[in-house]
């Protein structure tokens, strides 16, 4: 059971200690408190776990500071939707809003290579009014002999170039908890020139110790990619690890599933799961068309497969897109064959806008339909 407290409840006040006294008397019930920094206010929630079956909703609702009570199932306790549409997870990070209502596109380099390419990428984004990008510094590679990313030594100049080009959020994968400190330190040195969304890659979705470390820090929001060979439920539980440690600013990323049934695509595109994740949880949902498709192939209509699947994710309600671009894909150190070109950047954003408008019309049509049929 979750007790949602009135906005900006003072946790050092009298009413709050009265509430806690009441809760401490409940037999067989463990209490854990969570604060969620929303776009405008701090929301506190108290989770009652264990023997809560006999607690009445109205009784709990009458306790001091309590605004609303939601009965939850065991699954995805914190991130889950629990059939309740009034507790959106929305957060503002470095001036950018993330929620199930917004759409943010992170086009950028799969892996940071040279300053010239990073600068060109960011300049093109700035020209289009974009403030988010992706930049990989720590790369998990299948072969130990492949380029592993420049690591922490590239962070100072990547953050400086981001500041110069007005980039507010960089999605950056980490593969070890020490990378959180590396990023924190480099951001401090840069005078907080930009912000970072920590990315946990598909190979680390069930690296539980990494999840716990990333969940314990409150500084950075997290993009958790679905594991490419496990069930959706297992991946959603991985996201819940982050929240259970204290960080519920989590975005769930779909990036395709590993199976040769996906051939000739690199992974089997799973964007039909966008509405499913939105229904089961309150997390914004990201799609990664580049790592799903893995090539620059076109269909007979002249549209790139990467753009087709991006559209499929957006039309189904995706809230974030992660896409590989590169000024010179032939020279990219990782994933060049799937990178789109600088010249295609505006076309990509225009196509997304077109599809997003259609998605918004679909949502309105669903509302109209429901209204007509419930009156």
Q: Which of residues 76-115 bind Mn ion (CB under 5 A)?
A: 110
> Residue count at the site for ligand PEP (CB under 6 A)?
9
Q: Which does 132 bind (CB under 5 to 8 A by kind): ligand PEP, Mn ion, none?
A: none
Of residues 119 and 335, the one with the C-beta less far from Mn ion: 335
Among 5, 79, 110, 172, binds ligand PEP (CB under 6 A): 110
Q: Is 289 in the site for ligand PEP (CB under 6 A)?
A: no
Residue 93 host element (H or E):
strand 91-93
| Residues 210, 204 contacting (CB under 8 angstroms) | yes
Q: Per-residue string for binding with ligand PEP, 146-185, x by CB under 6 A?
A: ---------------------------x------------
Q: N- to C-terminal Cα distance for the chain?
A: 32
- Asked if residue 39 has a cis previous peptide bond (ω within 30° of 0), the answer is no
Q: Is 201 in the site for ligand PEP (CB under 6 A)?
A: yes
Residue 251 host element (H or E):
strand 250-254
Stretch that binds Mn ion, among 117-125, 191-199, 270-278, 334-342 (CB under 5 A): 334-342
Q: How far apart are alpha carbons 148 and 183 in whole angstroms?
A: 17
Query: How is residue 268 written in tokens?
Result: 């089997």
Q: Per-residue string for binding with ligand PEP, 225-254, x by CB under 6 A?
A: x-----------------------------
| Residues 340, 303 contacting (CB under 8 angstroms) | no
User: Min. distance of Cβ 257 from ligand PEP in angstroms?
Assistant: 11
Q: How far apart are alpha carbons 302 and 101 in whole angstroms?
A: 31
Q: Is 255 in the site for ligand PEP (CB under 6 A)?
A: yes
Q: Which does 327 bind (CB under 5 to 8 A by kind): Mn ion, ligand PEP, none?
A: none
Q: Return the residue nearest ligand PEP (CB atom).
A: 201
Q: Is 332 in the site for Mn ion (CB under 5 A)?
A: no
Pick the closest to residue 4 from 77, 60, 74, 80 (CA basis): 60
Query: How is residue 38 written in tokens?
Result: 């929303």
| Residues 132, 171 contacting (CB under 8 angstroms) | yes
Q: How far apart are alpha carbons 214 and 173 in whole angstroms?
A: 12
Q: Is 291 in the site for ligand PEP (CB under 6 A)?
A: yes
Of residues 72 and 345, the one with the C-beta less far from Mn ion: 345
- For residue 204, the Cα-to-chain-centroid distance in whole angstroms is 15
Which parts of this chain interact with Mn ion (CB under 5 A)?
110, 335
Which parts of this chain interact with ligand PEP (CB under 6 A)?
110, 136, 173, 201-202, 225, 255, 288, 291
């Amino acid at each position: 059971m979750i007790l949602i407290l009135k906005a900006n409840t003072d946790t050092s006040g009298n009413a709050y200690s009265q509430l806690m006294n009441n809760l401490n008397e409940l037999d067989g019930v463990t209490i854990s408190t969570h604060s969620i920094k929303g776009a405008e206010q701090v929301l506190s929630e108290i989770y009652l776990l264990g023997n809560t079956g006999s607690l009445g909703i109205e009784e709990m609702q009458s306790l001091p500071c309590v605004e609303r009570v939601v009965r939850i199932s065991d699954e995805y306790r914190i991130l889950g939707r629990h059939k309740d549409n009034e507790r959106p997870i929305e957060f503002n990070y470095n001036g950018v809003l993330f929620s199930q209502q917004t759409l943010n596109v992170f086009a950028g380099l799969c892996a940071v290579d040279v300053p010239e390419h990073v600068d060109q990428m960011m300049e093109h984004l700035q020209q289009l009014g974009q403030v988010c990008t992706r930049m990989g510094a720590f790369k998990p590679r299948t072969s130990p002999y492949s380029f592993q990313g420049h690591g922490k030594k590239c962070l100072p100049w990547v953050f400086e170039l981001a500041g110069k080009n007005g980039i507010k959020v960089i999605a950056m994968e980490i593969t070890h908890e020490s990378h959180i400190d590396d990023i924190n330190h480099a951001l401090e040195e840069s005078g907080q020139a930009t912000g970072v969304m920590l990315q946990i890659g598909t190979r680390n979705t069930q690296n539980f110790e990494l999840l716990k470390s990333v969940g314990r820090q409150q500084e950075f929001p997290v993009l958790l990619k679905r594991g490419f060979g496990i069930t959706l439920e297992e991946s959603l539980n991985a996201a819940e690890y982050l929240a259970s440690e204290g960080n519920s600013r989590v975005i769930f990323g779909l990036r395709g599933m590993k199976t040769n049934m996906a051939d000739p695509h690199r992974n089997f595109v799973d964007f039909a799961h966008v509405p499913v994740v939105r229904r089961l949880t309150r997390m914004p949902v990201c799609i990664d068309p580049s790592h799903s498709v893995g090539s620059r192939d076109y269909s007979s209509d002249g549209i790139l497969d990467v753009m087709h699947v991006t559209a499929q994710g957006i039309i189904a309600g995706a809230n974030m897109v992660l896409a590989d671009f590169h000024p010179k894909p032939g020279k990219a150190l990782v994933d060049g064959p799937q990178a789109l070109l600088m010249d295609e950047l505006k076309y990509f954003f225009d196509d997304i806008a077109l599809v997003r408008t259609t998605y918004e019309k679909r949502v309105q049509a669903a509302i109209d339909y429901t209204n007509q049929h419930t009156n």
